[in-house]
Structure formats: structure tokens, C-alpha cells
């Protein structure tokens, strides 16, 4: 026996903004589990900016299933650790069914929270924001903070953590409706629409006391604007550089203000979420507390069906998501 599974393959490497022709929906026959194996029906797929560099730099093989976060239900198991009905997370999306030896699967105990929260605020993007701003960024209560792409899955959590720590918090986003969400729901002090006016001038006006932490998701023009605003011993955790990902070789707009690194003795540091693995429990304690007390807000932007996955990924770079971008499988 076997199960028919639709899966998304990368068939050509994007140089710039990905196009739908570079992705192909392929039908595959997935075998029933052999001894030790588990069959998962995926129900949710994660769509993340960090997937983009892998499509160009060779880490994602051509004509194979695209790697990405997924959440699904065990539908057949010959592995003692998993039974039918278990909810699991893994990194072997984008496909409807995943046959695993169990080594790449994490059990999900979703009690008390909608399961999709484990794909964002209680999952990788939430943990990325928490570690990036508190550990890499060494955030102190009451500092002055700027978060770029603050309406994104990571940025929205980083900005809210800054507010929860009593910081004066500025966020940038690419539309008026996103800026309204940043101000009205997340409670940021200033929201800057980076598509309007001159970002450098708007940020200067928004930061009368300078910046102690700039949480960078964007790079390029945003980083160029933030550097002259940094206070002495400022920290710039670099979470991502979405502005560069769609240029061949991830070449950004030139950053010309780096002399401030020495004038203000700034620390800029790139990080990834697994740098914080030993503090996962602390993160979950914090985040559950904030969720339970209604202090952590989130949005999901959901595309329906595996056939919409490439459109969802492209949409990340054209500003179609507020909060977490997800694909819901049938």
C-alpha cells in the first residue's frame, strides 16, 4: 500500500524575487511505514524569510521537496515513540505526507493553546525573537528600541517583548494598516511606514533619545538609517536581512554609516534560534505567561492548500503577511 502525496519541489534557482515557475507541485507515492517508521499527514506548513537564501545558495537541492517547518498528525506508526493521532512538528515540509524514522519529529503538547501557536509565538519565530532581543540584544528594561519588519512573525514578538520590558519601542512596516496594528494592538510608541517619506529622517524624528537596541530583520536601508541613531554600547542583533535575500548573492543596498560602530562602540551580532536551545524552557515559561495574561498578541496570514505554498513564500517578500505566514493543508 501507499499514500498519494502532493509535494512542492524547487525546479530552478531564483536570482531575484522568486517566481511561481521555479516551483513545481509533484505527486509522489509514499510507502506505508516499515518497522520503526511513522507516517505523518501534515496539516500546517510554515513559510519563513530564512527559507529564501537556501533556494539560491545550493543548500536546497533542485528537484527535491523544499525543506520547511510543518505540523501534522501521525496517521500510521510502527515506532514505539509515536501512535496514531499524535501531533508532531518537523522540518521536512512542504508535502502532504511525510514518512519518517522518528528522529526528526518533536511531539507537540498543545494543551491550552491553538496548535498553530507552536508554529509562531510558542515556536521557532517566537523563540527567535525572545533569544535575539533578550540574549543577543542584551535588552535592559526601559531602553530605546527599534524593530524592523515589526509586523512580521519575529518582529512582532520582539517589539512586544521590548514593550513588556518598559522600553520606548519603534517599529517599521510596509503599509498603513500594518502600522495601525503596531500602534493600536501591539502598543508600540511609534510605527514607521518605510514606504512613505525618507526612512532615515523618520527614524531620526522617532528616536529623540537614540537607540540602545536595533533588532534587524531587514538590513540595507534600515540598517543604514539605524546606525547613526545608536547610543554608546548599543546592540544590533541581526536576525535576518530580508531586503537582501532577493538579490543574487544576498547583496544589500550599501550600508554607508558603519563608522558609527566605532564611534559608539556598537556590537552587531548575527544569530540563529538554535544558539538559544539551552534556554528553551525559560522562553516557554515567559511566552506562556504573556499569552495567559493577554499581553502577547499575534496574527496569522493563512494560504489554503499546498498548491498555494509558492505564492505564500513569494508573498513574504511583497508584504502580504501580517504576523506569521502559514499554509493550511486540506
Q: What is the DSSP secondary structure assignment for residue 150, as one 8-state letter?
A: T
Q: Considering only 70-78, 79-87, 141-149, 269-277, which stretch makes contact with its own copies by CB under 8 A?
A: 269-277
Closest approach of its own copies to the CB of residue 203, in Å: 16
Q: Which residue lies nearer to its own copies by CB, 120 or 235?
A: 235
Out of 67, 231, 267, 301, point to the residue binding its own copies (CB under 8 A): 267
> End-to-end distance of the chain based on CA atoms, in angstroms?
21
d(CA 199, CA 148): 11
Q: Considering only 92-100, 117-125, 253-261, 281-289, which stretch makes contact with its own copies by CB under 8 A?
A: 253-261
**Residue 53 binds its own copies (CB under 8 A):** yes
Q: Considering only 137-145, 153-161, 178-186, 246-254, which stretch makes contact with its own copies by CB under 8 A?
A: 246-254
Q: What is the chain's Cα-based Rg? A: 20
Strand, helix or coil for residue 256: coil
Who's near 185: CB < 8 A, 6+ residues apart? 297
* Binding track over 219-238 against its own copies, x by CB under 8 A: x---x--------------x
**Residue 17 binds its own copies (CB under 8 A):** no
Q: Which residue lies nearer to its own copies by CB, 55 or 327?
A: 55
d(CA 253, CA 12): 25
- Cell 537541492, residue? 61
**Residue 56 binds its own copies (CB under 8 A):** no
Number of residues that bind its own copies (CB under 8 A): 33
Q: Give the residue from 153, 145, 147 showing the smallest Cα distance to 119.
A: 153
Q: What is the DSSP secondary structure assignment for residue 51, as one 8-state letter?
A: H
Q: Which residue lies nearer to its own copies by CB, 237 or 323?
A: 237
**Residue 262 binds its own copies (CB under 8 A):** yes
d(CA 170, CA 189): 6
**Residue 199 binds its own copies (CB under 8 A):** no
Q: Which residue lies nearer to its own copies by CB, 256 or 318?
A: 256
Beta bridge partners of 30: 3
Amino acid at each position: 500500500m501507499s499514500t498519494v502525496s502532493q509535494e512542492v519541489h524547487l525546479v530552478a534557482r531564483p536570482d531575484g524575487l522568486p517566481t511561481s515557475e521555479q516551483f513545481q507541485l509533484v505527486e509522489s507515492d509514499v510507502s506505508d511505514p516499515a518497522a520503526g517508521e511513522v507516517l505523518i499527514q501534515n496539516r500546517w506548513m510554515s513559510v519563513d524569510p530564512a527559507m529564501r537564501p537556501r533556494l539560491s545558495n545550493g543548500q536546497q537541492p533542485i528537484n527535491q521537496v523544499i525543506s520547511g517547518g510543518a505540523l501534522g498528525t501521525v496517521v500510521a506508526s510502527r515506532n514505539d515513540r509515536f501512535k496514531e493521532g499524535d501531533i508532531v512538528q518537523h522540518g521536512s515540509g512542504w508535502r502532504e505526507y511525510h514518512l519518517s524514522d522518528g528522529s526528526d519529529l518533536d511531539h507537540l503538547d498543545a494543551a491550552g493553546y491553538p496548535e498553530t501557536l507552536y508554529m509562531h509565538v510558542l515556536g521557532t519565530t517566537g523563540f527567535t525573537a525572545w533569544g535575539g532581543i533578550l540574549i543577543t540584544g542584551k535588552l535592559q528594561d526601559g531602553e530605546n528600541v527599534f524593530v524592523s519588519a515589526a509586523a512580521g512573525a519575529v518582529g512582532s514578538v520582539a517589539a512586544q517583548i521590548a514593550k513588556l520590558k518598559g522600553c520606548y519601542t519603534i517599529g517599521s512596516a510596509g503599509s498603513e494598516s500594518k502600522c495601525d496594528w503596531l500602534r493600536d494592538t501591539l502598543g508600540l510608541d511609534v510605527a514607521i511606514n518605510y514606504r512613505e517619506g525618507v526612512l532615515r529622517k523618520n527614524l531620526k524624528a522617532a528616536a529623540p533619545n537614540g537607540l540602545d537596541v536595533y533588532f534587524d530583520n531587514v538590513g540595507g536601508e534600515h540598517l543604514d538609517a539605524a546606525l547613526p541613531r545608536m547610543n554608546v554600547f548599543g546592540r544590533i542583533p541581526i536576525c535576518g536581512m530580508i531586503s537582501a535575500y532577493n538579490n543574487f548573492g544576498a547583496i544589500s543596498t550599501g550600508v554607508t554609516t558603519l563608522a558609527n560602530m566605532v564611534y559608539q562602540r556598537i556590537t552587531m551580532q548575527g544569530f540563529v534560534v538554535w544558539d538559544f536551545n539551552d534556554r528553551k524552557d525559560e522562553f516557554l515559561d515567559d511566552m506562556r505567561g504573556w499569552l495567559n495574561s493577554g499581553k502577547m498578541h499575534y496574527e496569522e496570514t493563512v494560504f489554503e492548500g499546498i498548491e498555494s505554498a509558492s505564492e505564500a513564500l513569494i508573498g513574504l517578500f511583497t508584504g502580504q503577511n501580517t504576523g506569521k505566514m502559514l499554509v493550511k493543508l486540506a
